[in-house]
Chains A and B, each alone.
Chain A
Amino acid sequence: MTNLSGKKCLIDTNILVAYINQSHPFHLNAKKLFQKILKKEFKPVLSSQNLLELTAVLVHAFKIPQEKAVLDVELFVKDLFFEIIYPNSDVLSNFFNLIKKESSIHTIDAFLIATALGNGVETVITTDKQFTKVKEITTILLI
């Protein structure tokens, strides 16, 4: 993997799902990434969108009761280990610029990337190859 030393990296929802699901085809890759996170080899970042999506996956796909799902999601945030970023005033203009320029990207992916860029995060770690089409952000594929 690219040298990420000291870099802020957005961890995509698909990585969180791979980490919690031992049957996921990229579970081992996600485990290795989290070992790097625990060793503080880079600065891990999560967007509020990632946490919302993880909660939705747990509730609607994994069929975990909402009150239990939220306890799992809280494990990612309660120790302040990940920096949590939120859409700010720059995000809408970044979002509009991205979807004008990058016609192949899904609008929801564009919003996540806009949130990252608006918070000074220029690297995303994901299993989704679509992100590699976006020139504005560096994509590290964990596959």
Chain B
Amino acid sequence: MSQLIRTTITLPVDLYEQLRAASFYQRKPISQLIREGAERILLQKKNVVGVTLKKIEGKYKVVGSKGQFNRAQFYDKLIRKKMSD
């Protein structure tokens, strides 16, 4: 386990009582239950991120130069257009 820090958190009384009961039945300290819960949330978040980026992977099929990006050409064309307007 990496280095631990001590912090203060505020919990509703009923949640705290449920944690105390879980701590007793699972024979784990409350702080460990909170750590496990936090790790689970962060893991879910990580997986969602992967899904989000996958949604856009190869979403389009644009062949030729229109499907690519060349910054110099892109801006030069835009500037020429602005100048001729």
Residues of A whose CB lies within 8 Å of any CB of B are 13-14, 17-25, 27, 31, 34, 37-38, 53, 56-57, 61-62, 64, 72, 75-76, 78-79, 81, 106, 108-109, 112, 128, 130
Contacts and interface: CB of A to CB of B under 8 A. Distances in A.
Given A53-B74, A128-B70, 7 more contacts: A14-B70, A20-B57, A23-B67, A56-B74, A61-B66, A64-B60, A76-B53
Contact of A21 (B52, B53, B60): B60
B62 to A, nearest CB: 5
A42 to B, nearest CB: 15
Contact of B58 (A27, A53, A81, A130): A27
Contact of A17 (B48, B50, B67): B67
Nearest to B60: A21
Interface majority SS (helix, strand, loop, mixed), chain A: helix
Interface in B29-85: 45, 48-50, 52-53, 55-63, 66-72, 74-75
Nearest to A34: B53
B67 A19 contact: no
Contacts of A53: 69, 71, 74
A106 B71 contact: yes
A88 B62 CA distance: 35
A78 B72 CA distance: 28
A107 to B, nearest CB: 8
Given A38-B50, A79-B49, A20 B74 contact: no
Given A34-B57, A38-B53, A79-B48, A106 B72 contact: yes
B11 to A, nearest CB: 26
Contacts of B48: 79
B71 A19 contact: no
B69 A108 contact: no
Contacts of B56: 19-20, 72, 75-76
